[in-house]
Amino acid sequence: METDSVAELVTQALAALRAATDPDNPDDPDDRDDWREYVSLLWRAAADGAAALPLGLELIGSADPIEREAGCDLLRDTGNQHEAVRAGTATALVALAQRETEGRVLRSLARAIEMTYDPRAVPVLVTLAGHPEAEVREEVARSFAEVITGLPDGPDIRTLIGLTRDPDQHVRDWATFTLGVQAEVDSPAIRAALWERTADAHAGTRTEAIRALACRHDPRAVPLLAGLLGDPEGAHVLTFSAAQITDAPEPPPALPEYEPGDDWVTDAVNACNPARRARLDAWAWELVSTLHRLRPDLDAAVSMERFGWGRSLGVAAAFGPSDYDMEALLARADGDPTRAAELVAADLPRALPDTPPGPRPH
């Protein structure tokens, strides 16, 4: 893509953004064709990272807030598509955060700095979490996901806990989701914050909190999940996923009433079956033992997601590691762990393939 064509796409995107944000247009900007066109044009422009980066940096230095907003969005899309630009983008956005006052621009800045995957994003988002505009705080709550420190008492986690108590329900909802589902971190303080939200007046926030506690295998989530599954209007697919993780001794009463042909219903029913869980554990042991007997050159181990139900078989071989989903592997072997071990042994060669000799040294 030529530099001029990138500039043209950005010019068209700016025109679409101005139309989408026209205060005389009463429609919701998110429902306008102009907004969809803006998003599409910027993504296309960002495909050429070398040309898009300087344009984005130029735009965030503009005196026009519309151009600064577009600049942040362009930098976000460019960083999303090109790892090489992320460090420079983070540096520029950190500097912009120190001087920016427009709420719309700060929202775009929060989205953009998340896509840098840079730890410098965390203090920027922590500061923006105190912004007086709820829409900015909501964007902050959504934007921690890709820059989570992993520290149970990190500044990001403390900020998200605070945002779960925000007066605005949309901020609470997103903060609860990011803290509870996207940040795979656990602590008594996190659980206390999530438990507090299970009594939230906002149904979406309450649901996210229940699912988040289920992901942490918290037994208090079991009766609350049963309530969600018993909703006459039906439960969200993520609720079925959460039901798989709880280690409940039996499926919630409403679960078997759902259509059994749906994969997520079947998976949840299977995961909540203690006899099936015990059988899967026994199969895993037999599979690993058989594989070790067949192929002592392989180092195999079964692991389980900390915040999930899925089990995987990891195998270290001569040419590198391989991973298998346990459920899929056993299905492939018709439920026979010995056959599953034979399939893995056949999949993995005993040694690296022969390579042609390289040039001899002089």
Q: Which tens digits make up the pLDDT trace of 69-128?
A: 999 999 999 999 999 999 999 999 999 999 999 999 999 999 999 999 999 999 999 999
CA distance 311 to 42: 40
The token pair at 178 is 């990011």
pLDDT digits (tens, 9 = 90+) for 171-196: 999 999 999 999 989 999 999 999 99
Residues 179, 212 contacting (CB under 8 angstroms): yes
Q: Which of 142-151, 198-207, 213-222, 227-236 has the lowest mean pLDDT?
A: 227-236
Given a cut of 70, is residue 29 above it in pLDDT?
Answer: no
Residues of the chain above pLDDT 70, percent: 80
- pTM comes to 0.80
For the ranges 23-37, 65-79, 305-319, the one whose mean pLDDT is highest: 65-79
CA distance 265 to 252: 12
Which of the pair, 268 or 319, is modelled with greater confidence?
Answer: 319
How far are the Cα atoms of 211, 255, 269 from residue 265, in angstroms, in the given order? 16, 7, 6
pLDDT band per the 50, 70, 90 thresholds, residue 226 = confident
Instruction: List the Cα angle 343/348/351 in 5-degree steps.
Output: 150
Interacting residues of 259 by C-beta distance below 8 A, sequence separation 6+: 265
- Inter-helix orientation angle 33-46/65-81, to 10°: 50
Give the pLDDT confidence score for residue 68 in this predicted structure.
Answer: 98
Given a cut of 70, is residue 9 above it in pLDDT?
Answer: yes
